[in-house]
Structures are given as C-alpha cells and as structure tokens.
Chains A and B, each alone.
Chain A
C-alpha cells in the first residue's frame, strides 16, 4: 500500500540558511500534519492543513511557513536556520481531519551545523 513520502530523507544545512521539506500524503488523504521531534523527545505538533487550508497551528516558529498545494502535497519552509532546529521532521496524513487514522512518513532528518 502507498505510504506517506517525505523528501529529502536527510538534509544538512548551515546556520542562517533556508530549507524546504516536502511531504506527499497517501492518495485520497486530504489532511496533512507536520511534527518536529528532537533527540529523545516526543513529536511536537507544528501545523496542519485540511483541503489546502491551514486548519491548526502549534509550536511553529515564525521563521517557518508551510502550505498545502492543489495536489495535496505539502511543503515546510524553514528560514534563518538555528542549531536548535536540528531534529526529525515528520509529516503525517489522514483521510479527513476528524479521522482516527494518522499515518506518519519516514521523516526528514535535518542537521543544522
């Protein structure tokens, strides 16, 4: 079965650079969530989209922005990167924002040096 696709899987950036993370949800899933997981920490909700509109916002820094496109894929744009942004970034998709199902992608490991 098709799963959530994230790209790139690994990314190394320097401080103050920008990064773009991409997420391709499971086909026919219209809801996308972004989570950040630091080392030894639980996933922290950043932002979510339902039908291409932002549906909820969590602890996402102002330096980050995200959007969901007409094909339902989503991109997380990160600017002025800081060392503390180094983490695993997971995208999850769901067939509807009220659905009990939420499937996580493999994640993008971002390292900021």
Chain B
C-alpha cells in the first residue's frame, strides 16, 4: 500500500463545475498536507497546504482535512480549462521536512 493514495483518474468536468480530488494517507503521525498542481513537463506548483482539521479556502480552492479518517481533499469551484493539470497530494510526516507524494490525479476541464 502506498503511503499516499489519490483517487484514480483521469477526472473530467465541464467548465464551471466543481472538481473534487481526494487523497488518503497511511501515516497517522502526518502533520501537514499539500496540494500541488503540475502541468505536463513542468515543476509542481504549491496550491494549498493545510494542517488543521476542517476546511481551508483560498479563492476557488478549498482544502478539507479529516485526520481521524486520514483523508484530505481539494475542491475546485467554477473550474476553468486552465485548471486542467495533474494534481498531486503530498504529506509531510514526522521526518524532517520531506514530502511524500501521491500518484496524482489528472483533471481535464472541458469548455
């Protein structure tokens, strides 16, 4: 079992819809959680991080964390074609700083 697992893709939503990306992690001691967006051939770009249970909103993006269920999600409201990318969930555990990534979910937003 991978330490960080994401819902299998690809995920396709129409423009203006809500895209929901999910991630589970195995290390109960994990402390902080990240969502990165990666366009093909480019480097990962940090979108959001969250470390407390509950919701965190930033513009069209909302991250949700449930440590009891070891689950973190990313909601993208009013999806745009420019949101089409691979979204990587990453988890920082108790080790000093390194991030463990999920396999990523490829999102396509259709005009």
Q: Compute how far the CA of A102 lies from the CA of B43 in the bound complex, rounded to whole angstroms.
A: 12
Contact in complex: A42, B34 (CB < 8 Å): no
Smallest CB gap from B103: residue in A: A42
* A90 contacts chain B at the CB level, 8 A cutoff: yes
Instruction: Choose from A42, A97, A105, A106 the contact partner of B97 (Cβ within 8 Å).
Output: A97
Q: Is B70 an interface residue (CB 8 A)?
A: no
Number of B positions contacting A (CB below 8 A): 23
Which residues of the partner chain B approach A41 to less than 8 Å between Cβ atoms? 103
Residue pairs across A and B with CB atoms within 8 Å: the count is 61
Does B98 sit within 8 A of A, measured CB to CB? Answer: yes
Does B78 make an interface contact (CB < 8 A)? no
How far apart sit A48 and B46, CA to CA, in the bound complex (Å)? 18
Q: Contact at B44–A104, with CB atoms within 8 Å?
A: yes
Cβ contacts B42-73/A at 8 Å (1 or 0 each): 11111001010000000000000000000000
Nearest CB on B from A42, distance (A)? 4
Return B10 CB to nearest CB of chain A, in Å: 12
Question: Would you call A42 and B98 a contact (CB within 8 A)?
Answer: no
Contact in complex: A50, B88 (CB < 8 Å): no
Set of chain A residues within 8 Å of B34, measured between Cβ atoms: 100, 102
The answer to whether A90 touches B99 (Cβ under 8 A) is no
B58 CB to closest chain A CB, in angstroms?
13
Q: How far is the CA of A107 from the CA of B51 in the complex (A)?
A: 27
Nearest 6 Cβ contacts at the A-B interface: A97-B97, A42-B101, A104-B43, A100-B49, A45-B98, A97-B96
Chain A contact residues, CB within 8 Å of chain B: 31, 33, 41-45, 48, 50, 55-56, 58, 88, 90, 94, 97-107
